[in-house]
């Protein structure tokens, strides 16, 4: 069951126009109790969709860093500066396993 509790949020009443097939398809999940209402289903779907768009935007920003020469130079410099500490941490971890 999808758990959407709108009591904790400020809500705004709005009107949307949905394709008839989506309304029919969503009604099945309301009728069988998977979701408490079509409104809850739309809220959950919109939250899921927006979270996916956010993840895609973050991925795009990271992809841009791969092409950013200044960032690459900084990243390499930091890796070199911490190489000794990284090696020491790895060595200590391996000794702890033994």
In tens, the pLDDT along 68-92 reads 899 899 999 999 999 999 899 999 8
Cβ(47)–Cβ(8) under 8 Å? no
Nearest to 40 by CA among 67, 63, 7, 88: 7
* Token pair recorded at residue 28: 């099945």
For 12, list phi and psi in degrees, rounded to 5: -130, 125
Question: Binning pLDDT at 50, 70 and 90, where does residue 1 land?
Answer: low
Q: What is the pLDDT of residues 22-64, one digit of tens each?
A: 999 999 999 999 999 999 999 999 999 999 999 999 999 989 8
């Amino acid at each position: 069951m999808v758990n959407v509790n709108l009591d904790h949020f400020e809500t705004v009443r709005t009107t949307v126009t949905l394709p008839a097939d989506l309304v029919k398809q969503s009604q099945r999940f309301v009728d069988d109790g998977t979701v408490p209402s079509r409104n809850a289903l739309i809220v959950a779907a919109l939250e899921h969709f927006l979270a996916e768009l956010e993840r895609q935007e973050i991925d795009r920003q990271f992809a841009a860093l791969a092409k950013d020469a200044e960032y690459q130079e900084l990243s390499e410099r930091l890796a070199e500066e911490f190489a000794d500490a990284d090696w020491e941490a790895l060595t200590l971890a391996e000794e702890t396993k033994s």
